[in-house]
Amino acid sequence: MSWANAALLSAAIMALVTVFDSHLVSKRLPSLRAFLLPVGVIHLFLALVTACLVPLPVAVFSSPFGYAVLSSFIRVGAILILLDSLRREEVSTVIPIVYAYPVFVAIMAFVFLGERLEPLQWGAVCIVVVGAVLVSMGRGPSRTDIARPRSVLLLVCSVLFAAADVMGKQALSEISSWNLFYVGAATMGAVFVVLGLRPYVVRSILALPDRRTALGLLTGNEILAPVGIAMSYWALERGPVSLVSTLISSRPLFVLAFALLLSRLAPGFLFFTGGRRTVILRIVATVLIVVGIAIIETH
């Protein structure tokens, strides 16, 4: 599998994970902390297992490990902003704003890593980002004004994801994608458990009327998530961070597809709005994303 195909497959997998995350945090669980606690426990377990199978090849306090830890903490901060936003807004409108981050990645990679893109590749990055942003437009009454604090916060989230990718790429110069995966899983697990481990949170989870269903969905989703995360790190290890991030940012396209499908098959599963104008706009956005991806794949 090429790094480009791995990045696209990661985007599709993580889109499905995001859709179920949105359902869980907005429909199934009583609070964000009630979501963070079990997710944190699962990721700590996965980090422990992976660390035993793939030990670090470098000294614990070396620069690559430091970049991996810093990248992981920044990514966790971005994820917390994203999850909080998924509780408040439609998933297909939150994700596009966040996943405009390849523009920031391209700039950071140019400045800090010395990556050089051809003019056509810069054009492809811009095309994918424009397509991703267009997906979030035409939302009717729930449309988010770019000047509102929530949108500004999502842009901050976007910058954080970009910084995490660039630092992760730096770490991958000496450690493997699996090493980066379990450093990230351990960091996220620890932060989530610290934030979620409260007596009232545990009581609220135990009091859920459909606890088995909710925790079953959550566990299945968090088993699928590491597959997408590991594939993104594998692609990041082998490809230019600017282009890998651009392909991963096609996630809004998959989120939209899954959200549309679920809005038909299971109405009420997600908060989802849409009309004729929205559909047309999102079709145009889809075409732009596909064109941008095609340029990257063939160059």
Do residues 43 and 274 make contact, with C-beta atoms less than 8 angstroms apart?
no
Please indicate whether residue 58 or residue 189 has the higher confidence score (pLDDT): 189
The CA distance from 193 to 88, in Å, is: 22
Amino acid at 39: V
Cα–Cα distances (Å) from 237 to 40, 132, 296, in that order, read 25, 24, 17
The pLDDT, as a whole number, for residue 267 is 61
The pLDDT, as a whole number, for residue 104 is 82
Please indicate whether residue 128 or residue 68 has the higher confidence score (pLDDT): 68
Residue 268 has pLDDT above 80, yes or no: no
The pLDDT, as a whole number, for residue 147 is 38
Residue 208 has pLDDT above 80, yes or no: yes
The pLDDT, as a whole number, for residue 298 is 58
Lowest mean pLDDT, pick from 39-43, 76-80, 257-261: 257-261
The DSSP secondary-structure symbol of 239 reads S
The CA distance from 61 to 65, in Å, is: 6
**Residue 2 — φ and ψ, nearest 5°?**
-80, 160
CA geometry: angle at 279 spanning 93 and 253, to 5°?
Answer: 50
The pLDDT, as a whole number, for residue 59 is 62
Nearest Cα neighbor of 79 from 125, 135, 141, 14 is 14
- Signed CA dihedral, 284, 285, 288, 294: sign only: negative
Cα–Cα distances (Å) from 145 to 17, 78, 139, 178, 271, in that order, read 26, 20, 11, 39, 18
The pLDDT, as a whole number, for residue 48 is 93
Over range 35-62, report the average pLDDT. Answer: 85
pLDDT tens, position by position, 181-200: 999 999 999 999 999 999 99
The pLDDT, as a whole number, for residue 140 is 42
The CA distance from 88 to 86, in Å, is: 5
Residue 65 has pLDDT above 90, yes or no: no
Residue 172 has pLDDT above 70, yes or no: yes
The CA distance from 202 to 134, in Å, is: 40
Which residues, 6 or more positions from 260, have their beta carbon under 8 angstroms from its beta carbon?
272, 274
The pLDDT, as a whole number, for residue 244 is 87
Domains in the chain, number:
1
The CA distance from 144 to 151, in Å, is: 7
Burial category of 82 from C-beta neighbours within 10 Å (exposed 0-12, middle 13-18, buried 19 and up): buried
Residue 4 has pLDDT above 60, yes or no: yes
Tell me which range, 45-54, 86-95, 260-269, is most confidently predicted by mean pLDDT. 45-54
Please indicate whether residue 181 or residue 137 has the higher confidence score (pLDDT): 181
pLDDT tens, position by position, 220-261: 998 899 899 999 999 988 888 888 888 887 777 787 778 777
Q: Mean pLDDT score of the chain, rounded to an integer?
A: 80
Model pTM score: 0.76
The CA distance from 223 to 230, in Å, is: 12
- Give the residue numbers spanning the domain of 99: 3-298
The CA distance from 37 to 21, in Å, is: 14
